[in-house]
A and B are shown apart, each in its own frame.
Chain A
Amino acid sequence: MLSALGNPRQAAAQVLNFALVLSTAFMMWKGLSVVADSPSPIVVVLSGSMEPAFQRGDLLFLWNRNLLQETAVGEVVVYNVKDKDIPIVHRVVRKYGTGDEAKLLTKGDNNQADDTELYARGQDFLVRKDIIGSVVAYMPFVGYVTIMLSEHPWLKTVMLGIMGLFAILQRE
């Protein structure tokens, strides 16, 4: 088990292997980000405001290009409120005007009221640039692990430890 430590060449290969896995994952994420033109092309649902369509932990794939048509009423979009860094997944229910300056109002399917209360002070509507993508595809439950990790931070340490151990102990 500790032979890897005795052989510096093998140890270096293990470290490089681990770095390769990490950078591959990172580049795939960034590549997807470029293709979808969205800073965060995959998001995990954090709240129940779009139930029953989306539950907590479901995975959503976003697309942020308007190739065929503009972002329209009825699309489910992910937006960031001005000066806040919490992405929200809700449906566009009103659109006044056309183009980049069109005023958009959103609402969660499971909420009684629209999102006016959620927006920043003095912000009555969203515009296109507040939106970081429209939901195009859906995968249930897969993202729940990230919710677990953020709610129980010690899991993160444990998982990183296990991953590192695996990478070091694993032999070609």
Chain B
Amino acid sequence: MHNSLNRLQSVFGFFTTVAFTLGCLIALTDLWAERTPSGVIKATNTQVVKGRPHYYSSKKEEYAIIKFSLDADLSSLFTWNTKQLFVYVTAEWPAPEAGMNATNEAVIWDSIITNPSADHLVNLGPIGKKKLKASAGGKSIAPERGLLKLKNQKPKYQISHPSGKIASAEDVTLKVHYNVQPWFGLLTWNTQSDIGRWKSFAGGVSDQFSLPAVKVKDDKKKP
């Protein structure tokens, strides 16, 4: 029996199959695109201060403020299937109280870098959005946005520890990570080792350093 409803149903069914297959093929092209992320990161200035977790808290905790310099080339991660690149810097240090090889890890800075194809989705005011769109110069893929040069960058997040103590922590390292958000397909992060055409991150880990002791408040500034 072939009535119009039946035909409509099979057309819709065929459409979804084709769309899904096309999406999968597009996702597969990611594997052909070479990925050669690299970067150099260095902690430039560290400081530990005392503060409260929120305004109404009476508890005082130690917070580490780690400034850093980053010089990274993530341009190869931008392809036609890249919606956004999420770049983040973590600080990692051992957690002997939680076990032998236990570690603590916390994000100190992150950034959302959209491909121009996703610029219209960004959470910016109308002026900021216009500027961002103009910066693409009409292109839909902008590898140059993957070139990061940060000098003595202030961290976005001051990090602490559940115990409230972080001063004088030793063997701290900074590490650069990325997360590629596709338009369709698998989300991908730093690879541990080379996978096909995807090379593992060259560099991207800082030398080990120790956090200083709590900074003593300058009495002269206090009334």
Contacts and interface: CB of A to CB of B under 8 A. Distances in A.
Interface of A: 51-53, 55, 72-76, 91, 93-99, 101-103, 109-110, 124-125, 135-140, 166, 170-171
Given A109-B112, A138-B181, A138-B185, 19 more contacts: A51-B123, A53-B112, A73-B177, A93-B107, A94-B106, A95-B106, A96-B98, A96-B104, A98-B95, A98-B98, A98-B103, A99-B98, A103-B162, A136-B187, A137-B185, A139-B23, A139-B184, A140-B183, A170-B6
A138 B182 contact: yes
B114 interface: yes
B169 interface: no
A93 B157 contact: yes
Label chain A's interface by main secondary structure: loop
Given A52-B112, A139-B23, A166-B9, A94 B107 contact: yes
Contacts, number: 96
Contacts of B179: 74, 76
Interface bin, chain B: 35 or more
A97 B102 contact: yes
Contacts of B112: 52-53, 109
Contacts of A53: 83-84, 86, 112, 181
Given A97-B102, A98-B103, A166-B5, A76 B162 contact: no
A63 to B, nearest CB: 10
B216 interface: no
Contacts of A170: 1, 6
Interface of B: 1, 5-6, 9, 23, 83-84, 86, 88, 90, 95, 98-99, 101-107, 110, 112, 114, 118, 121-123, 157, 159, 161-162, 177, 179, 181-187, 189
A73 B83 CA distance: 21
Contact of B95 (A76, A96, A138): A96
A23 to B, nearest CB: 20
Contacts of B9: 166
Contact of B90 (A51, A74, A135): A74
24 contacts: A51-B123, A52-B122, A52-B123, A53-B83, A55-B121, A73-B106, A74-B179, A75-B189, A91-B86, A96-B98, A97-B98, A97-B102, A98-B95, A98-B102, A101-B98, A102-B102, A109-B86, A109-B110, A109-B112, A124-B162, A137-B185, A137-B186, A138-B181, A166-B5
A27 to B, nearest CB: 20
Contacts of B103: 95, 97-98
A26 to B, nearest CB: 20
B184 A140 contact: yes
A38 to B, nearest CB: 16
A98 B101 contact: yes
